[in-house]
Amino acid sequence: MKVAVVGVTGMVGRVMLKVLEEHQFPISELIAVASQRSIGKEIVFKESTYKVMGMQQAIDAKPDLALFSAGGSTSLEWAPKFAEVNCTVVDNSSAWRMDPNKKLIVPEINAQELTAADKIIANPNCSTIQMVMALAPLQKEYGIQRIVVSTYQSVSGTGKDAVEQMLNERKGTDSPKVYPHTIDMNCLPHCDVFFDNGYTKEELKLLNETRKILNDDTIAVTATAVRVPVKGGHSESINLTLKNEFTIEKVKQLIGEMPGVVLLDKPAENQYPMPLTAEGKDEVFVGRVRRDESFPNSLNLWVVADNLRKGAATNAVQIAQYLVSNHLLKTSNTAVV
């Protein structure tokens, strides 16, 4: 199978390569793609070296699958051109997520919606993915009335320049600023751009994407997204109101049985999810599960995941794996199943 990784030199692109190798994804030919300034650079995959090429050259190679992590404007321009040569695109940007004609997929929740006709498939936002992974089994069992979520998002969610800013600030070295303020030893209640209603784009993603993935526009969602001085791994404090009564024991059972979720909830033994817990792992970690005694049918959760893996690269690769295993991806190598 010919697989293109678009944005291969970025943080998510490099993790995509790692996840493709770890998951033993069937690749006969890797097509490494990046922006004009990266053409000719070399990347290593499975101990082989590949030269980075541009978009049109990649399209001319007619890949079977393209994993995009190159920004919304790039995806809007180029994903349809890849699709025109019968390439299936899994896109990690926000470009297609709320398009009513495109599927927004977390494989453990709604992969069954996919068909062979889906040529551009949207990968959700990192903070949305980990939240719905924890909430999907509770929605199925009880129904969800309202979600109040506060995120604690690492600087890697902004990209490698943001990581460099934080590390340079930590060393006392001057460097270009990605954020409007110092991020090290600080917290910024500012993820993405602000809208007229006072919410940021990141906060509204949590609202809109959650409803689409869980297929329920009645769920009330309000969010506050905060950037914290952590290199990798997003954390979320979630207050949840369910439509029906529950027991904490049953809630923990449902979360623990959800594929791709690890219940780590032994606070008396100092065991609870942290960014260091999730680093380098594909699973979503859930802990601090407790009843909200201030409001009926409500509870609190603490949810942590590696934002570059399940929040981006791993979810995209899992979508591709589902397509292959269910014979929904037309390939140039008919031996691949």
Q: Which residues carry out catalysis?
A: 126, 234
Going by their DSSP bridges, the two strands 234-242 and 298-305 should be labelled as: antiparallel
Q: Is 162 exposed, middle or buried (0-12, 13-18, 19+ CB in 10 A)?
A: buried
Q: Strand locations in 69-198, DSSP E?
A: 88-91, 120-122, 144-153
Residue 285: closest CA among 273, 300, 296? 273
Burial of 46 (C-beta count, 10 Å sphere; 0-12/13-18/19+): exposed
Contact 106, 315 (CB under 8 A): yes
Beta strands in the chain (DSSP E): 2-6, 29-33, 42-45, 48-51, 65-68, 88-91, 120-122, 144-153, 220-227, 234-242, 261-263, 284-291, 298-305
Q: Is 12:40 a contact under the CB 8 Å cutoff?
A: no
